[in-house]
Amino acid sequence: MTTVVNDMDRPVRTTFLPFAAPSIGEEEIAEVLDTLRSGWLTTGPKVKRFEEEFAARVGAKYAVAVNSCTAALHLALEAVGVGEGDEVLTTPMTFAATGEVIRYLGATPVLVDIDPVTMNIDPQRLTEVAKKAWRAKAVIPVHIGGLMCDMDPIMATAREHGLAVIEDAAHTFPSTYKGRMVGTISNITCFSFYSTKTITTGEGGMATTDDEALADRMRMMSLHGISKNAWTRYTAAGSWKYDILFPGFKYNMPDIAAALGLAQLRKADAFHARRAEIATRYTQAFGQLPDCLETPPGAAAGDLHSWHLYVLRLHAERLNIGRDEFIEELKKANIGVSVHFIPLHVHPYYQETYGYSPNDFPNAYQSYLRSISLPIYPKMTDDDVESVIAAVTTICRTHVK
Ligand SMILES: Cc1ncc(COP(=O)(O)O)c(C=O)c1O
């Protein structure tokens, strides 16, 4: 990064800092080359190893690798029996994927507002909504940014109402809740290995479970619903014969992606340590600006927050610019940022289909209006981190009323 110093003696970037970037090293390149040279590109030995190593790392009995977290969520809902006319409880504060998979199966998403501090689904409200949602079959808690939802009351509500719990853990590797690793708590947990995530396979996802029947169902449906081990049919041990048992999907992970995943998995703890270090530095620096900003909560003592996202929330009423202008100022300072999320109920599809208006879920809506996600990834240098702090601090000091 080239910097000059501004009139407040703070560094100003002269090159753009992207919001997110993967950390790809020689190990990933070597692992992918090994796959290319092996001649086996699609689902095969590397996927099997990636599944085994991921399951062991999480502490789950089964892991099913697929080509996205969206696919994992879809397969998970299908496996627990969600279908036409059912309801699925979830949060509005999430990405498109969480809502659309419910619609794929002809079910209805029933949204439950968030806790204004954690931005995760509010367990108290979930209990109230579950009492009335008599067609509900499942609940999808989403661990925003890598901070785990309060799972004990969510699991208790699910047990009381006979709901399956599918965790959207797209942001959450590695995170823990009361000492338990994500991926071992509910019926099925779905992870994302999209390029911006804490570990990546380019595109990819994983579903973990301790239930063999659910794992088998997801595996079969991830590959056209055809009989077990269909992917071995081109090996010496395989057979050309197969049976289509159900109309499944094409969601299998290729070995090229799993090769990346294997190398990334070995680095996951080091990646996490760097993310946590950046989060600590941000929170220390932004804690000096309480008039302007609210910093995100960390995990409870002894637990892990994956720090996939670092979401600042502005005290907009104390600033003479709004969130969107704040983002523009950051852009001018060469800092790439994002917003997580535009809640589902604010999007045209959900408004037109279910008649939602923004204040139907006021905590999610207000949180959205004030949020800015800052760059946080292992490849960032200390200077990059300081340049983000300098830019945010300058904008706050310039625009606080
Ligand atoms: C909360 C959440 N769930 C699901 C997904 C979907 O993940 P994928 O891109 O791997 O399908 C994302 C992606 O960003 C996400 O943020």
The reply to whether ligand 1 has any atom less than 6 angstroms from the CB of 95 is yes
Nearest residue CA, atom 14 of ligand 1?
95
**Helix axis angle, 151-161 relative to 123-132, nearest 10°?**
10
The reply to whether ligand 1 has any atom less than 6 angstroms from the CB of 170 is yes
The reply to whether ligand 1 has any atom less than 6 angstroms from the CB of 175 is no
230 pLDDT tier (thresholds 50, 70, 90): low
The reply to whether ligand 1 has any atom less than 6 angstroms from the CB of 142 is yes
pLDDT at site 241: 81
pLDDT at site 1: 63
Closest CA to 398 of 313, 308, 330, 299: 330
pLDDT at site 295: 97
The reply to whether ligand 1 has any atom less than 6 angstroms from the CB of 168 is yes
In whole numbers, what is the pLDDT of the chain averaged over residues? 95
- Is 131 a known active-site residue? no
pLDDT at residue 7 tops 60: no
- Determine the residue of 93, 94, 95, 142 to mutate for testing ligand 1's pocket, defined as the one with the most ligand atoms within 8 A of the Cβ atom: 95
Reported as half-sphere exposure (CB side, CA atoms, 13 A), residue 26 has a value of 0
- Determine the residue of 172, 194, 309, 341 to mutate for testing ligand 1's pocket, defined as the one with the most ligand atoms within 8 A of the Cβ atom: 194
Mean pLDDT of 32-61: 97
Which tens digits make up the pLDDT trace of 24-46? Answer: 999 999 999 999 999 999 999 99
Closest CA to 330 of 22, 17, 9, 20: 17
pLDDT at site 2: 54
pLDDT at site 67: 98
pLDDT at residue 11 tops 90: no
8 A C-beta contact, residue 195 and residue 202 = yes
pTM over 0.85: yes
pLDDT at residue 19 tops 70: yes
For residue 53, the CA-to-ligand 1 centroid distance in Å is 22
Q: How far, in Å, CA of 166 to CA of 156, rounded?
A: 14
Query: Which residues make Cβ contacts (< 8 Å) with residue 26, sequence separation at least 6?
Result: none
Query: Which residues make Cβ contacts (< 8 Å) with residue 49, sequence separation at least 6?
Result: 258, 262
**Residue labelled with tokens 């969601």:** 251
pLDDT at site 77: 98
- Dihedral, 45, 49, 50, 55 alpha carbons, nearest 10: 140
pLDDT at site 237: 73
End-to-end alpha carbon distance in the chain: 32
Q: How far, in Å, CA of 319 to CA of 327, rounded?
A: 13
Which tens digits make up the pLDDT trace of 195-227? Answer: 999 999 999 999 999 999 999 999 999 999 997
Active-site residue identified among 46, 131, 137, 197: 197
Sequence-ordered alpha helix ranges (H) in 179-229: 212-221
pLDDT at residue 235 tops 80: no
DSSP symbols for 20-70? ------HHHHHHHHHHHHHT--SSSHHHHHHHHHHHHHHT-SEEEEES-HH
Reported as half-sphere exposure (CB side, CA atoms, 13 A), residue 305 has a value of 23
Query: By mean pLDDT, which of 156-170, 232-246, 247-261, 341-355 is the weakest?
Result: 232-246
For residue 60, the CA-to-ligand 1 centroid distance in Å is 21
Beta-bridged to residue 264, according to DSSP, are none
Which tens digits make up the pLDDT trace of 75-107? Answer: 999 999 999 999 999 999 999 999 999 999 999
- Determine the residue of 73, 121, 188, 192 to mutate for testing ligand 1's pocket, defined as the one with the most ligand atoms within 8 A of the Cβ atom: 192
pLDDT at site 76: 98
- CATH class of domain segment(s) 3-8+268-399: alpha beta
- CATH class of domain segment(s) 26-266: alpha beta
* Tokens describing residue 361: 């879920």
pLDDT at residue 391 tops 90: yes
Question: Where along the chain do its domains lie?
Answer: 3-8+268-399, 26-266
Mean pLDDT of 316-327: 95
pLDDT at site 242: 85
Mean pLDDT of 56-85: 98
Question: Which amino acid, one-letter code, is at 33?
Answer: L
